[in-house]
């Protein structure tokens, strides 16, 4: 069992302290508020949360949870510290790190007087780079020790919901943490091992980003549901019924398939249907800022890819894929076709490898090139062999993934400027001649 100090007896801190103590760990809660300290030591919860009062009473009585204002005492008598202080918004909207930095300073001063190894694990919500840019430099400066070797560092975000915090702690939907060193990773693995949930051990910045992404995604879902509800009501419909039916579809609507960062959406349905729903909202005098933002963001992703191509200064580019998705010859509102059209208009030579579009033209299908209204001389730009496309062009744009093309494209990405909009390989990130649009 671990010995843990919790800095910050707020909502996250007291729930974590009580649950860790219930699991058999020895916990010391640390705060500057004497009222909170006295409450804990009296076996009372300083906040109102379902089931928390009896739990605090039980673990304090068992001698596994106590509270103090003595930082040095807490550091000397524990193996790891959790920093659970607030990060309110700064006046300019940035994350406020005043409390986190202050606690790290105090912990660092105490670490200077401790002989043994100690892990400092941030649980406060902080933007990517905060551990490396603020927490670690502060800890090192005050302790005179080196992070990762002389003391440990981790970032371990929480995903607790108020009113169900204890249930969420023991039945988590997500566990993720980042660590600089093996001892810190070992502690975090030990604490989470009994829980029935996959453990994601990543780098510090990824863990920081996951926390912000999770919170923002929840906000986006609430806003989207409200916007749909407002439009539904304007049509005399029940928005909650609409969303309940939508959420019953676990195959498409509640699916990770559409949650993969990459290129813009297109096709015969999504763009026109977003436009139509937005127009309906306007007709009914219902504000729909999120629907407006969807189309704006989609257009911005095409512009982003265009800029990436311009950066290569390539005079001729080979595009892998032009249909709106692999496995079809449909070009209706294809973002790849739009990108090709923009490049051609800007004087860039464009050749295209798309086996399905090529097949449609080769077989003289009456629907060959269906939906294309942006790529001039589409048939004349098609190349039947990927090897020739790669050899004849200054840069390659990977728009669609075709399995039989993966090996050649991966090899080419190491020697020729490659703009990847579809992710050739999950292990590959931007660097050298290779540029991924979101990675």
Where would I find the beta strands (DSSP E) of 64-118? Answer: 65-68, 80-83
Percent of the chain's residues with pLDDT above 70: 100
d(CA 397, CA 390): 10
DSSP reduced 3-state for 176: strand
Q: pLDDT, tens digit, for every residue of 285-305?
A: 999 999 999 999 999 999 999
CB atoms within 10 A of CB 376: 13
Nearest-10 Cα torsion for 14, 19, 23, 28: 0
- Whether this prediction's pTM lies above 0.85 is answered by yes
Q: Which structure tokens are listed for 374?
A: 């942006």
313: left (phi over 0), alpha (psi -120 to 50) or beta: left
Give pLDDT, residue 27. Answer: 98
Active site residue 269: yes
Sign of the Cα pseudo-torsion (102, 105, 110, 115, in order): positive
Q: Which CATH architecture has domain 305-436?
A: 3-Layer(aba) Sandwich (3.40)
Percent of the chain's residues with pLDDT above 90: 97
Across the range 262-267, mean pLDDT stands at 96
Confidence of residue 184 (pLDDT cuts 50, 70, 90): very high
Mean pLDDT of the chain: 96
Q: pLDDT, tens digit, for every residue of 313-354?
A: 999 999 999 999 999 999 999 999 999 999 999 999 999 999
Q: Indicate if the pLDDT at residue 223 is higher than 90.
A: yes
Give pLDDT, residue 99. Answer: 97
Q: Contact, 321 vs 336, CB < 8 A?
A: yes
| Sequence spans of domains, the chain | 3-204, 305-436
d(CA 318, CA 350): 6
Q: Which of 197, 235, 247, 269 is catalytic?
A: 269
Give pLDDT, residue 364. Answer: 94
* Same fold across 3-204 and 305-436: yes
Half-sphere exposure of 135 (CA within 13 A, CB side): 33
d(CA 248, CA 267): 24
Residues making up the binding site for NAD(+): 31, 36, 87, 125, 162, 272, 332
| Kind of pairing between the strands at 65-68 and 80-83 | unpaired
Q: pLDDT, tens digit, for every residue of 10-27?
A: 999 999 999 999 999 999
Confidence of residue 255 (pLDDT cuts 50, 70, 90): confident
Q: pLDDT, tens digit, for every residue of 136-159?
A: 999 999 999 999 999 999 999 999
Half-sphere exposure of 316 (CA within 13 A, CB side): 10
Q: Contact, 120 vs 107, CB < 8 A?
A: yes
DSSP reduced 3-state for 316: strand
Name the nearest CA neighbour of 83 among 105, 100, 97.
100
Q: Which structure tokens are listed for 184?
A: 């810190």
CB atoms within 10 A of CB 328: 17
d(CA 3, CA 236): 59
Q: Which structure tokens are listed for 423?
A: 């992710």
Confidence of residue 380 (pLDDT cuts 50, 70, 90): very high
Residues making up the binding site: 31, 36, 87, 125, 159-162, 211, 258-262, 266, 272, 325, 332
Name the nearest CA neighbour of 357 among 318, 320, 317.
320
HEC string of 215-243 equals HHHHHHHHHHHHHHHHHHHHCCCCHHHHH
Residues making up the binding site for substrate: 159-162, 211, 258-262, 266, 325
d(CA 111, CA 394): 55
Across the range 128-143, mean pLDDT stands at 98
Sign of the Cα pseudo-torsion (51, 53, 56, 59, in order): negative
CATH fold of 3-204 reads: Rossmann fold (3.40.50)
Give pLDDT, residue 254. Answer: 85
């Amino acid at each position: 069992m671990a010995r843990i100090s919790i800095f910050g007896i707020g909502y996250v801190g007291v729930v974590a302290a009580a649950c860790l103590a219930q699991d058999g760990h020895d916990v010391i809660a640390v705060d500057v508020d004497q009222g909170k300290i006295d409450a804990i030591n009296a076996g009372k919860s300083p906040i109102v949360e379902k089931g928390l009062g009896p739990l605090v009473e039980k673990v304090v009585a068992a001698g596994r949870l106590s509270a103090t204002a003595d930082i040095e005492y807490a550091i000397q008598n524990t193996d790891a510290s959790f920093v659970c202080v607030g990060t309110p918004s700064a006046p300019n909207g940035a994350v406020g790190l005043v409390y986190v930095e202050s606690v790290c300073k105090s912990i660092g001063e105490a670490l200077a007087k401790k002989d043994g190894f100690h892990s400092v694990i941030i649980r406060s919500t902080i933007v990517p780079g905060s551990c490396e840019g603020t927490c670690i430099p502060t800890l090192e400066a005050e302790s005179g020790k080196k992070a990762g070797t002389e003391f440990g560092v981790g970032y371990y975000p929480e995903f607790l919901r108020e009113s169900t915090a204890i249930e969420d702690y023991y039945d988590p939907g997500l566990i993720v943490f980042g660590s600089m060193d093996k001892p810190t990773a070992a502690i975090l693995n030990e604490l989470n091992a009994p829980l029935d949930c996959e453990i994601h051990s990543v780098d510090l910045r990824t863990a920081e980003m996951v926390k912000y992404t999770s919170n923002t995604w929840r906000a986006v879902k609430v806003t989207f549901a409200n916007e749909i509800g407002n439009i539904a009501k304007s049509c005399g419909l029940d928005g909650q019924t609409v969303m309940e039916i939508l959420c019953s579809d676990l195959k498409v609507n509640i699916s990770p398939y559409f949650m993969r960062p990459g290129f813009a959406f297109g096709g015969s349905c999504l763009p026109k249907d977003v436009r139509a729903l937005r127009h309906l909202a306007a007709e009914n005098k219902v504000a729909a800022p999120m629907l407006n933002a969807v189309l704006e963001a989609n257009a911005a992703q095409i512009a982003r890819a265009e800029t990436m191509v311009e950066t290569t200064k390539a005079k001729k580019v080979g595009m892998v894929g032009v249909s709106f998705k692999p496995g079809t010859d449909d070009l209706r509102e294809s973002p790849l076709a739009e990108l090709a059209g923009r490049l051609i208009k800007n004087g860039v030579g464009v050749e295209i490898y798309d086996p399905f579009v090529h097949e449609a033209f080769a077989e003289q299908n009456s629907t060959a090139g269906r939906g294309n209204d942006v790529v001039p001389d589409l048939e004349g730009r098609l190349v039947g062999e990927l090897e020739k496309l790669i050899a004849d062009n200054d840069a390659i744009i990977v728009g669609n993934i075709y399995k039989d093309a993966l090996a050649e494209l991966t090899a080419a990405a190491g020697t020729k400027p490659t703009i990847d909009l579809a992710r050739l390989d999950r292990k590959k990130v931007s660097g050298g001649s290779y540029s991924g649009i979101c990675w």
